[in-house]
Structures are given as C-alpha cells and as structure tokens.
Amino acid sequence: MNIDQQVTYLMRGTAYGDQAMHESMRKELRDRLVESESSGRPLRVYCGYDPRTSDLHIGHTVTMRKLRQFQELGHHVIFVVGTYTALIGDPSDKDKLRAQLSPKEAQVNAETYAEQAFRILDRDKTEMRYNAEWLSDLKLKDLIHLASNFTLQQFFTRENFKKRFENDEAVYFHELFYAIMQGYDAYALDADVQVGGTDQMFNIMTAARKIMSYYGKKPNIGIILGILPGTDGEVKMSKSLGNHIPLNTTPEDMFGKVMSVPDKAMSSYARLVTRWTVDKIDKFESAIEKGELHPRDAKLELAKEITSAFFDDEKAEKAQEHFITLFQKKDTPDDMEVFKPSGEPILLDVLVDSGLVRSKSQVRRLIDQNGVKIDGEAVTDPYLVLSLPVIVQVGKRRFLRVEK
C-alpha cells in the first residue's frame, strides 16, 4: 500500500462524531506515517485493556483487529493490560460507580487476556506490558502536576459524570484519576498512536494528548473506533447484558449468534469485526442496499467471515453447514414460544419458569441423558448462564426461544 492507501485502511471504522476532528487525526496519521517511512522507525501503537473479567468477547477485539492492521504494515504494537487502572475501574461508559478490583483479581484476569488476544495479534510482534510498571511509581507530587492540566469543568461535561451529578448521585474523586492515569500510559510508552473506542474519547483525545504535550512529547494520534452493538443490535456488547458473543466458544455457537444479529447491525459488524478490505465492505453494503444481496445471504457471508477470523475456514464452513441443517432445513419449527427471563438466564431456571419442563429434578435428568440442547448443541451444565438470544430444545419436538 502507498501512504494514502494505508491511511484509508487504518482509518476504517473510526468514529469521532466530528468531521473536523476526523480530518485532523487523518492528517496527523498521514504525516506520522510519512515520517516513519522516511526515518525507517516503526510507529509505536498501543491499546489498553482493563482486566475486568477473564473472558473476552468479540466486542473487545475491535481494537485488537486495528492493532493487527498496524502490525501488518510493520509497526510496533504494545498490548497494555491495565493491572493498575483496574484498581480504580473505568467510569468512561458507566453512569454509576464501577467496582474496584483487587490487585490479585486484576492479575488473575490479566493472565488470561494475552492468550485470547493472540488469536488476533501476532504473538511474535506484540509487546505485552502491564501499567502497574510505571503507575505504581508515581508520587503525590507527580499526580498534582498531572492534575494541574485539567479543570473540573472538563470532567463534568462528560455525559456519564454530568448525568450522575444532575441526578444528585455520587461522583467519587478517585474516578477522575482514571483518565489522567490512562493519559500517563501514553506518555510512559512514548506512543505515536493510541487505539480505543468512542467511550475512550476523553481519555485519548484530551487526557493523553494534554499530558504528552505537558511533558514535551508530540501528542499521540487517537484512532477512535465505533462501539460494536451486541446481538440485540441496540446497546454495547456486554457479558452482563447477555448480548455478547464470547471468544471462548464453539464455531457453531459463534456462527449462530452472528446470524441472530438484527439486519440493521450488519454494517457495524462488517466494518468493526471482519478482515475485509474497505472496497469489500463498501460493495457488501451497496449490494444489500440495492437489493442485489438478500439480508439472509448477507448475514451468512458475514457469519462465515467472522467465524473464520476467530477459528479457521474449515471450521467456519462446518459451522455454516450446521446452521443451515439446523435452522434453514426446518429441523426447528418456524413458530415457537418466546420466553424472556426476568433475572439471570440460568438454564435450569429458564426451563422450569417457562413451563417447558415441570421440575428442576427433571431438568437434571434430561441433561444427564443429553436431552437438552442450546442452539443445536447438547449441554451438560444445568446452571449454564445463557447468552441471549438462544434456542433451547428439549427432546426432539419441544423448542423455546429465549430472549432478553
């Protein structure tokens, strides 16, 4: 790729909410790429991940896919696990106080992140860092100097803090440190580029750039990516909301969950999760819009690409065959009862509360006999928490669609 093609490739999926900011970042990225090419020094590109849980879903991988693109172009990628920022809890996309992790919890979760991330990133070309390395050494005077770059007004214009403040809900002082600490990460890593979602806009575009300038460094370029909606097509993918597609799952489950995504969200999945080129995505969207590609066939193509990206072509092909056999060849009824659990969707409770099975003891017996399936796959754990929406099958003829 020439420089302009690289810029187009790397800016794919970005969402700044402001055209002037988009053009500014595009220009800065181009200038930095030109400098890199002329000097022979790869750009230093990083993204940070707070180990809130040990399990990742494909929403987490949107930024990883962007890091991989930088790797493909020969740049140096740093995968930062926020073992120290996790002690605060990122308030960026929350309208309430986020629970703080203990150092032990953060470290345990962090250890699982790397192996999952290497399903996308090139292991040999990825530098793993933990931000406790530098943040734990900051002294009070350092924090005072860093905090002097910001006003309280800047923090309270942020939607999540503003909402809580107006509702007379507590905003804790330590929450303000998060953006400052993330900004310091960029400085400590001497980053040229920082990748993050739109929920990180303030942390990257304001905090990090201010702090790097304060220390006399050229501010990092923010590559701000859109947020992947969950399988409901409405809100951010989240395990707690049950609308996620986990990485640690089967190809069949991943394929089926992508197929359950509403048509309106297909464009987001194509732009944020696939390995497709910009031209391929444009043609894909155009074909759907013009009616040249039926939404069902478009989603099959999308599900196969996403499943292949996380597994391989052969497993994705088999997952597609499984889906077609199970759903399109009428092995399941066209019409089935829909059940929406009020609490956590635990399989045993869902089967009993919906009336599909009479008692919990009967559920256990059926599971022991391989008589309960989730999206066509037999399950062995009656306390399995369902990732909604799913189709639950009991025996050969009883089906239940479980939704949020």
How confident is the model over 228-254, as pLDDT tens digits?
A: 998 888 888 887 777 889 888 899 999
Give 56's contacts (C-beta < 8 A, 6+ positions apart): 113, 116, 117, 246, 247, 248
Q: Give 93's pLDDT tier (boundaries 50, 70, 90).
A: very low
Distance CA 276, CA 314 (A): 18
If asked whether residues 90 and 13 sit together in one domain, one would say yes
Three-state SS for 3? helix
Domain boundary among 225, 260, 290: 225
Mean pLDDT (whole number) for 185-193: 96
If asked whether residues 280 and 399 sit together in one domain, one would say no
Domain boundary among 225, 256, 285: 225
| Max CA separation in the chain (angstroms) | 72
Q: Answer yes or no: is pLDDT of 74 > 50.
A: yes
pTM: 0.73
In the numeric block, the tokens 């330590």 are attached to: 174
If asked whether residues 72 and 148 sit together in one domain, one would say yes
How confident is the model over 322-368, as pLDDT tens digits?
A: 888 776 655 556 567 889 998 888 999 999 999 888 899 888 988 88
- At 246 the pLDDT is 87
What domain count does the chain have?
Answer: 3
Q: Which structural domain, as residue segments, surrounds residue 181?
A: 3-225
Mean pLDDT (whole number) for 203-209: 93
Residues in the chain: 404
If asked whether residues 83 and 142 sit together in one domain, one would say yes
- At 319 the pLDDT is 92
Mean pLDDT (whole number) for 179-196: 95
- At 371 the pLDDT is 87
Distance CA 184, CA 191 (A): 10
If asked whether residues 245 and 221 sit together in one domain, one would say no
* Percent of residues, the chain, with pLDDT higher than 70: 92
